[in-house]
Amino acid sequence: MNFLISSAYAQDSAGQPGGEFGMLIMLAVFGLIFYFLLYRPQAKRVKEHKNLVSSLTKGDEVLTQGGLVGKITKVSDDKDFIEIALNESNNIVVQKSAVSAVLPKGTMKSI
């Protein structure tokens, strides 16, 4: 019955050339890819948004993350809130971080 099943023999244990060093290089390459494709662009966006929020002044026309367009009527430096006039009769209070863009002057009138 031994002719149906072939015998298995152990081979010499010759390790792969450059096994540990190759893994370190691959780990470093993945680290660089992660840094340049994910971390660096996100850090740049956060820095730009922080500069945008710190430069808000009264009279700026802004777009919020919720899609509201209005003109800043009051800036509260100590509480991180601003008051936005949507039109002559409606004012809202939002956090400064909710502003996604500062629009050019006259944008509200052209909408």
pLDDT tens, position by position, for the chain (111 residues)? 566 777 767 666 655 565 678 889 999 999 999 999 999 999 999 999 999 999 999 999 999 999 999 999 999 878 899 999 999 999 999 999 999 999 999 888 888
45 belongs to a structural domain: no
90 belongs to a structural domain: yes
46 belongs to a structural domain: no
Q: Can you give the pLDDT at residue 13?
A: 60
84 belongs to a structural domain: yes
Q: Can you give the pLDDT at residue 97?
A: 93
Domain limits for position 72 = 56-110
| Cα R_g (the chain), whole angstroms | 30
- Count of domains for the chain: 1
3-state SS, 29-75, equals HHHHHHHHHHHHHHHHHHHHHHHHHHCCCCCCEEEECCCCEEEEEEE
Residue with tokens 């800036």: 75
**What CATH number does residue 67 fall under?**
2.30.30.140
Cα gap 33→36, rounded to integer Å: 5
Q: Can you give the pLDDT at residue 18?
A: 58
Statement: the pTM of the whole predicted model exceeds 0.75: no
